[in-house]
Chains A and B, each alone.
Chain A
Amino acid sequence: MVLLINIILNGLLLGGIYAVTAVGLSLQYGVARILNIAHGEYIMVGAFLTWLVHTKFGVNPLLCLAVAGPAMFILGYLVQTFLFRKLKEKTPTPAEFEGSSMLMAFGILFVIQSIAIFLWGTNIEGYSYLAYSIYLGDIRLSVNRLVILIAALAICLLFYLLLTRTRTGKAIRAASQDPDAAALMGININRMLALCFALGAMMAGFAGMLISLVYQLQTNMGMQYTIIAIIVVVLGGLGSIPGSLIGGFLLGILGAIVNSIEPGLHMAAYYLLFMILLLVKPSGIFGR
């Protein structure tokens, strides 16, 4: 029983990271219809910025979200206004835009990664932060992962409130549900899309910051997080923020369970469960 609780707790702690990596992508796809293959690169840059600020200036890594978040926000805003918006104007049908935006995201992935390799090399980097556990009876909690879980929940909650309670958030949601009607209501769609893409990138920056607390960094690490994020997003339902959260936790718990039985197959188990779920309920857990 204790073992089971430990496993599930561990999965929950891991799931927090998965959730944050996915929320940004979910927003970008849900509103802007961009399957951002370069999402992991934003995570990587966020992680490296955190590492840089922490090791060079000794700032608490959690506070580095004040650096990683805004930096990624600006990057995302620029990418949307100068690249994806122009692309959208040129590709009339949504299906075409989905294909060509993926190609463009791939190009962005290459550019960001090459700049990162130029700046930070290909070596492994990292730092150690709160690497110990506290015990509640027999139940073990890793402190750094607990911090991540709390931070992840807080970030997601704030983000959710931003989307549901503020005027801007409502405009974003209106734009995602019916762009034409929203435009008629006087919402500046292009500004909303840019904002949305920027917010997604900012979430990736936060995710990078959280990842750097527990895992080591490499400039080529982006793709693995992109794939995890895509899986979580689809699992939770494209465009649904609570869905991404639940999807992340689900993936985390599943990973922890398989890991305790046969660690050699836990990656395979991720994909297998995901594929089965996709077959049973293609629109995801929270999909419409």
Chain B
Amino acid sequence: MDNNNKLKKIIGPVILVLILAFMISLPLFAQNYTIILLRTILMYVALTLSWVLFSGFTGYTSLATAVFYGTGLYTAGVLNGVLPLPLLMLCSGLISAVLALIIGTITLRLRGIYFAIFTLSSVELIKHVLNWYEINVLGVRGHYVTRVDYGTVYYILLAIVVLILITTYLIKRSRYGLALSGIKSCEEAAVHTGVNATALKVLLFALSAFFIGMTGTVMATGMLYVDSIIAFNLNYSFFPTLMAIFGGMSSMFGPIIGATVFAYLQEYLITRSPDAYMFIFGLVMIITILYLPDGLVGLYVRIRELLLQKAIPQIRRKISGGKHANTAS
């Protein structure tokens, strides 16, 4: 029994190490397009994890992902050639974080659906104001972005994902994690226990925006041309949210699996059957939510339970029945 527990403790990190090592060495033997595709998938993983970092902890549904992602893209366009990429990423991350601080501070009173819709409108507001400013004040639309090779982009994105994972892990383990789970279950109670819930909430929002902004800047280097309409696309608000629900938010792996499967499925359908892509994609979404209410992670849990409760004991019985029929405990 003791041995079994120890094994369980080790198995998780070992799998993680294996996956990460595989991901790090992948560009050296994978085909070129695999890296290009993984770049998009990693982008979605980063966005979804960042979304979960805020919304998963606090229970607030944020649809502001496109604001921060767009800020990242757009900053890359405006400051292209002015700063080297690492500084540019830091810069757009900080701008996104500041934006998040502002949005977070003024929306303190809003809860639930109101918060979601406020953040949704902020995407459109920023898009239209920037667009108007570009056209009427600057007299240009769109900015070129210097291209960075896909391998570099891949590693940067991988690093961002790892960074978000570590951050999430550390927060979960710290006393703030406990305070945050307090916010989620009952905000008022959390306030009474002396936790500065609002400050914590806003800071977390800014932290998640920081990562999203950096991701945006990295992705811009593969897009070459950015303008306000392309940058502030509502899809980037909806998709991470859907991916997180799709994967299941009960575990840290849920969003990763959700984003990966969702993004890969999208690519698969678009390339294999461009005409039926939307139809099948929609059906998959409906079926998943109907039959897997806890997301893909829920499916995993269910399968494991099934195996543990039925299949494995049966196998054990068979084995023990065949070999050690006499020494049955």
Residues of A in contact with B (beta carbons under 8 Å apart): 29, 35, 37, 83, 86-87, 90-91, 95-96, 98-100, 102-104, 106-115, 117-118, 223, 227, 230-231, 234, 238, 264-265, 267-268, 271-272, 274-275, 278-279, 282
- Among A103, A104, A274, A278, which residue has the most Cβ atoms of chain B within 10 A? A103
Question: With contacts A265-B132, A268-B132 known, is A278 near B117, CB below 8 A?
Answer: yes
Question: Which of B3-11, B122-130, B212-220, B309-317 participates in binding chain A?
Answer: B122-130
Q: Is the CB of B279 within 8 A of A114?
A: yes
State the majority secondary structure of interface residues on A: helix
Please encode chain B, from 226 to 251, with 1 for each CB lying within 8 Å of some chain A CB and 0 for all others.
00000000100010011001100000
Q: Is the CB of A111 within 8 A of B290?
A: no
- Among B241, B276, B281, B293, which residue has the most Cβ atoms of chain A within 10 A? B293
Q: Is the CB of A279 within 8 A of B106?
A: yes
- Nearest residue, chain A, Cβ from B285: A107
Q: Is the CB of B124 within 8 A of A227?
A: yes
Contact of B285 among A98, A103, A275 (CB under 8 A): A103
Contact of B59 among A95, A103, A107, A112 (CB under 8 A): A95
Is B283 an interface position by the 8 A CB rule? yes
Contact of A91 among B120, B128, B293 (CB under 8 A): B293
Is B286 an interface position by the 8 A CB rule? yes
Q: Is the CB of A111 within 8 A of B59?
A: no
Residues of A within 8 A of B113 (CB): 29, 35, 98, 234, 238
Is B121 an interface position by the 8 A CB rule? yes
Closest 4 CB pairs of A and B: A110-B282, A107-B285, A114-B278, A111-B282
CA distance A90 to B238 in the complex (A): 23
Q: Is the CB of A99 within 8 A of B61?
A: yes
Q: Is the CB of B124 within 8 A of A114?
A: no
- Nearest residue, chain A, Cβ from B108: A279
- Nearest residue, chain B, Cβ from A230: B117
A37-B238, A106-B282 known; 8 new pairs, CB 8 Å cut-off, are: A83-B290, A87-B289, A95-B112, A110-B278, A227-B120, A231-B121, A279-B118, A282-B109
- Give the contacts of B266-306 with A (CB-CB under 8 A): 275-279, 281-286, 289-290, 293
Is B189 an interface position by the 8 A CB rule? no
The interface on chain B, measured as residues whose beta carbon lies within 8 A of the other chain's beta carbons, has a size of 42
Residues of A within 8 A of B121 (CB): 231, 271, 274-275, 278
- Nearest residue, chain A, Cβ from B283: A111
Q: Is the CB of A114 within 8 A of B276?
A: yes
CB distance from A34 to the nearest CB of B (A): 11
Is B107 an interface position by the 8 A CB rule? yes
Residues of A within 8 A of B246 (CB): 103
Residues of A within 8 A of B78 (CB): none
Q: Can you list 13 residue pairs at the A/B interface with Cβ under 8 Å?
A: A29-B113, A95-B59, A96-B293, A103-B242, A108-B286, A111-B278, A111-B286, A112-B282, A117-B278, A118-B279, A267-B128, A278-B118, A279-B110
Q: Is the CB of A100 within 8 A of B245?
A: yes
Residues of B within 8 A of A278 (CB): 110, 114, 117-118, 121
Residues of B within 8 A of A268 (CB): 124-125, 128-129, 132
Is B178 an interface position by the 8 A CB rule? no
Is B174 an interface position by the 8 A CB rule? no
Q: Is the CB of A271 within 8 A of B286?
A: no
Question: With contacts A100-B289, A104-B289, A104-B290 known, is A271 near B128, CB below 8 A?
Answer: yes
- Give the contacts of B64-94 with A (CB-CB under 8 A): none
Question: With contacts A103-B242, A227-B124, A265-B132 known, is A279 near B279, CB below 8 A?
Answer: no
Residues of B within 8 A of A114 (CB): 276-279, 282
CA distance A98 to B60 in the complex (A): 12
Is B25 an interface position by the 8 A CB rule? no
Contact of B125 among A86, A99, A271 (CB under 8 A): A271
CA distance A267 to B135 in the complex (A): 15
Residues of B within 8 A of A274 (CB): 121
CB distance from B228 to the nearest CB of A (A): 11
Is B136 an interface position by the 8 A CB rule? yes
Contact of A234 among B59, B114, B279, B289 (CB under 8 A): B114
